[in-house]
Amino acid sequence: MLFVQAAANPGVHLSHVEKVEAWGTSVRQYIRAIEPLLKSDEMPQSRHYYREAPLLKTEIAPPDTNGYEWSMFARDGVDARTLAREMGLPPSFDPPEPKQVELRGLFDIIDKTNLETAWQFTIPGKSGSMVNGETMVLEETLPIPKSVYEEAVSLADEFLQQAGVGLEIGTPQVDDQDLEGF
């Protein structure tokens, strides 16, 4: 629908994120259409394609917030203790670390519209005690990259080929035999 609106109205411009979200919606619809086959025990390797096939494995750094540049701790070659001291944090403070996020199987493409993760930790108080510290909750939500949706389509196509299933997309072709009797 977004692409139709953009084509019909020259003043409507879609951002890259909106285009990827629209593409993701189309991919999810495609996977939902073949989901009964993916759930079937009779289809070869259906569980692998539906729940196990690796699609994405990445690290997400904690977001910067409240004047703290948490993402700096995720950079290569950074001495966490020195950086913590420069940020006014006690040397005993363990900063939040990047988290691994994975998408496995076509089910994750149906089930998730974003990559999400969260951190919860306590910044020690001025005395260095956790009792008087500040508890922080950081959340990061990122869009699923277009390349992952493209990989999901390839995976779904591979599943259908392995299963010996063909899909017809488009309008049916009419030949002369179909017209006999009219």
Look at residue 25 in the predicted model and tell me its pLDDT.
96
pLDDT digits (tens, 9 = 90+) for 131-155: 667 889 999 999 999 999 999 999 9
Q: Average pLDDT by consecutive 10-residue portion of the chain (182 residues)?
A: 54 86 95 96 93 97 90 89 86 87 98 96 70 84 96 96 74 58 48
Q: What's residue 182's pLDDT?
A: 43
Q: Which of 11, 119, 13 is nearest to 2 (CA)?
A: 13
Residue 119 structure tokens: 């951190």
Q: At what angle are helices 146-163 and 16-39 packed, to 10 degrees?
A: 20
Query: Are 61 and 98 spatial neighbours (Cβ–Cβ below 8 Å)?
Result: yes
